[in-house]
Chain A
């Protein structure tokens, strides 16, 4: 396999580097390069999501399809059906019967991104109702 990677030099503040080292010491990442690659990917992904574009729509759609596939798989597991799960890289890292305690716990975790989803029968997406609509005079 051809390695297309290039070496780049970058300076980081000591506090940021200490946080990077903690991620490696904790086993989340094998080395600094992998942390930086993950961070850059995450930044580019977030930037793409923010900019309104067909690419943005495609990225969101692809992300949604990956999540739905994972949720369909989890719907067949009685440990997760009708519960909330926290997913990182399509693996369950935490779960709970209630949304709030799960969100509070995962907000303290360092993995990114984390998706908090409800595992409905058949992997159907959760629905939220926003019926509020303001009527304007033309």
Chain B
């Protein structure tokens, strides 16, 4: 069975359009928030601003982590493992940095489990998961 999610390229405040999708981030029963996130194959993991979550995050996490930015600077961060839903694709336990002020990114901790098709000229942002994607499942 194939599960899909569609997004689009959006301009925002940047120099170029960015591939964006709507993402649901769940950290427990009835605790789901949604946001737009950049599809970023250069990011090791997903990233979400802590301001997105109106409750205290807890549960499984990684606390001995350094996040390295484009300039090579590192700072400590906490990685959580929420369930992420994009379209009809749902993946449990996706490594995600949650930190104040960061931009929402859909990184390779999610993208490595799906097929990614991007075409700015066609305004195409398509994520597709098949049975071989491991943890991907329908919503």
Set of chain A residues within 8 Å of B97, measured between Cβ atoms = 128, 130
Total residue contacts A-B, CB cutoff 8 A: 133
CB pair B107 A130 closer than 8 Å? yes
The answer for the CA separation of A137 and B92 in the assembled complex, in Å, is 37
Given A52-B100, A100-B134, A130-B67, answer yes or no on A135-B15 (Cβ-Cβ < 8 Å): yes
Contacts of B100-138 to chain A: CB distance below 8 A: 100, 102-103, 105, 107, 134-135
CB pair A117 B63 closer than 8 Å? yes
A11 on the interface (CB 8 Å rule)?
no
CB pair A107 B60 closer than 8 Å? yes
CB 8 Å contact bits of A93-113 with B (1 = contact, 0 = none): 000000110011011000011
A47 on the interface (CB 8 Å rule)?
yes
Closest to A133 in B: B70
B1 on the interface (CB 8 Å rule)?
no
**A2-10, A21-29, A64-72: which lies at the B interface?**
A64-72
CB pair B63 A64 closer than 8 Å? yes
Q: Which listed residue (B64, B78, B81) contacts A103, Cβ 8 A?
A: B81
CB pair A50 B50 closer than 8 Å? yes
B84 on the interface (CB 8 Å rule)?
no
Size of interface on B: residues with Cβ below 8 Å to A: 47
A134 on the interface (CB 8 Å rule)?
yes
B21 on the interface (CB 8 Å rule)?
no
CB pair A128 B65 closer than 8 Å? yes
Residues in chain A within 8 A of chain B (CB atoms): 42-43, 45-47, 49-50, 52, 60, 63-64, 67-68, 71, 86, 99-100, 103-104, 106-107, 112-118, 125-137
Further 8 A-B residue pairs, CB within 8 A, beyond A117-B62, A125-B64: A49-B78, A60-B76, A100-B135, A128-B45, A128-B65, A130-B43, A130-B69, A135-B15
Residues in chain B within 8 A of chain A (CB atoms): 12-15, 18, 38, 40, 42-45, 47, 50, 53, 55-70, 74, 76-79, 81, 92-93, 95, 97, 100, 102-103, 105, 107, 134-135
